[in-house]
């Protein structure tokens, strides 16, 4: 699990760094003709997407300070307008504004461009591959394996698998997740196909509804996350049975193979811990987005990550100083990346919990499962249930 999360972190890091650093080697242009200012070659290189060393601008922001210059904007001042704009752009201007919040002192945020390009480009592109890839795997699995049936004869008896509180927790978590997923994806992709379908006005109404649902159902999701964690954490501690279950591929790929499992098998434990860890991560980044600039967490997280030395092993040095806007950009990018992985995992879960396996849905529907289903998929748990029942029968007074 830890390895899985580390992989996500470094995928994020690698992708961000790839997005942040444009490619290509460029020779230093001769700026003597422009008096040290931007040349045509600089502009063309930037347009070609090459890396342009901006230090000749960021370190050349004039002699005076902004306050001293405010009354004398124009080419004849102590410094020119372009000096002032360079100071503003590279964050060295001493800006005093009547402030409504921490982000107000940053008037030009250069990093917004890579974020915008990343959000509308690679983030969506790779995210679509993740979701499409998972759907393709599920379809292939269905074609090769078909529906996993109950192999033995049904007994006609049922066992209580989940009580009503367990099912309430699951459906609160799952229901809110599904709406959050749909409204989130509509926010990310909606413009492209909803505007042609419903026009700009129609899209605006849909987008507003999505935003309202997304912001408010986040609380139901977090409550569901807490209930699911409290209900099932004790049943999801890994043990040796899980290794045997995994070694047998969970019996998923071979008809008639039923490795023993307790209440949750190793596959379900992977789903459970993914839900908990991804759920916490998506909730934290979501809260950061819900309360803009008030819950910055990325600079601190990156500082901790850098101090482990692990990012450096991958050639990364994560930024530890960020403008408030940059914090929000990282929160948005992380939130969406976690969402893609989470949704992909849940697609597999939904398949196995419904059409993919005969008898599974009853566990979360009525809470009662066919005894033969329980014997095939959770034999050790069924034994525990029978032992408990036998214990109860022995202690209850005879009729």
Residues within the interface to ligand HEM (CB under 6 A): 161, 170, 173-174, 177-178, 228, 232, 264, 268, 271-272, 275, 346, 349-350, 353-354, 360-361, 363-364
CB of 208 to ligand HEM, least distance (A): 24
- Please say which residue, 16 or 261, places its beta carbon nearer to ligand HEM: 261
CB of 273 to ligand HEM, least distance (A): 9
- Please say which residue, 222 or 333, places its beta carbon nearer to ligand HEM: 222
In the structure encoding, which two tokens stand for residue 81, read together? 């307008």
CB of 264 to ligand HEM, least distance (A): 6
- Terminal alpha carbon distance of the chain: 51
CB of 374 to ligand HEM, least distance (A): 9
Q: Which residue's C-beta sits nearest to ligand HEM?
A: 353
CB of 233 to ligand HEM, least distance (A): 10
- Please say which residue, 115 or 177, places its beta carbon nearer to ligand HEM: 177
CB of 188 to ligand HEM, least distance (A): 18
Whether the Cβ atoms of residue 326 and residue 334 lie closer than 8 Å to each other: no
Rounded distance, CA 145 to CA 122, Å?
34
Rounded distance, CA 84 to CA 64, Å?
9
Pairing of strands 368-370, 158-160: antiparallel
- Please say which residue, 85 or 361, places its beta carbon nearer to ligand HEM: 361
CB of 19 to ligand HEM, least distance (A): 28
- Please say which residue, 280 or 322, places its beta carbon nearer to ligand HEM: 280
- Please say which residue, 50 or 358, places its beta carbon nearer to ligand HEM: 358
CB of 242 to ligand HEM, least distance (A): 13
**How far lies 114's CA from each of 111, 195, 225, in Å?**
6, 25, 33
**How far lies 309's CA from each of 65, 134, 298, 316, in Å?**
39, 33, 17, 10
**Using only C-alpha atoms, what is the Rg of the chain?**
28
- Please say which residue, 293 or 361, places its beta carbon nearer to ligand HEM: 361
- Please say which residue, 130 or 320, places its beta carbon nearer to ligand HEM: 130
Contacts of 128 (CB under 8 A, 6+ apart): none
């Amino acid at each position: 699990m830890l390895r899985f999360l580390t992989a996500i972190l470094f995928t994020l890091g690698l992708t961000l760094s790839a997005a942040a650093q444009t490619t290509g080697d460029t020779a230093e242009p001769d700026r003597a003709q422009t008096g040290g200012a931007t040349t045509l070659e600089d502009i063309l290189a930037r347009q070609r997407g090459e890396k342009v060393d901006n230090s000749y601008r960021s370190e050349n922001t004039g002699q005076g300070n902004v306050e001293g210059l405010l009354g004398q904007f124009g080419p004849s001042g102590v410094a020119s307008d372009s000096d002032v704009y360079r100071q503003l752009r590279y964050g060295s201007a001493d800006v005093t504004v009547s402030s409504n919040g921490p982000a107000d002192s940053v008037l030009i945020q250069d990093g917004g461009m890579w974020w915008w390009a990343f959000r509308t480009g690679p983030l969506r592109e790779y995210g679509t591959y993740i979701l499409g890839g998972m759907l393709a795997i599920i379809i292939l699995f269905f074609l090769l394996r078909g529906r996993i049936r109950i192999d033995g004869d049904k007994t006609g008896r049922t066992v209580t698998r989940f009580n009503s509180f367990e099912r309430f927790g699951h459906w609160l978590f799952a229901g809110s997740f599904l709406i959050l997923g749909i409204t989130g994806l509509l926010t990310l992709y909606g413009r492209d196909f909803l505007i042609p379908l419903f026009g700009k006005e129609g899209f605006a109404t849909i987008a507003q509804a999505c935003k309202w649902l997304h912001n408010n159902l986040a609380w139901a999701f977090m409550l569901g996350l807490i209930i699911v964690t409290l209900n099932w954490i004790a049943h999801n501690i890994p043990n040796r049975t899980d290794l045997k279950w995994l070694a047998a591929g969970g019996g998923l790929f071979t008809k008639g193979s039923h490795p023993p499992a307790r209440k949750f098998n190793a596959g379900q434990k992977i789903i459970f811990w993914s839900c908990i860890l991804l759920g916490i991560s998506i909730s934290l980044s979501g809260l950061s987005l819900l309360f803009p600039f008030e819950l910055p967490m990325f600079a601190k997280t990156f500082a901790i990550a850098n101090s482990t030395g692990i990012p450096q092993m991958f050639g990364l040095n994560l930024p530890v100083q960020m403008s408030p806007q940059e914090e929000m950009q990282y929160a948005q990018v992380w939130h969406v990346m976690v969402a893609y992985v989470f949704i992909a995992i849940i697609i597999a879960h939904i398949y196995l919990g419904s059409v993919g396996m005969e008898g599974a849905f009853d566990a979360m529907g009525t809470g009662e499962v066919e005894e033969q289903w329980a014997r095939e998929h959770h034999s050790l748990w069924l034994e525990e249930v029978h032992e408990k029942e036998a214990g109860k029968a022995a202690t209850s007074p005879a009729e």
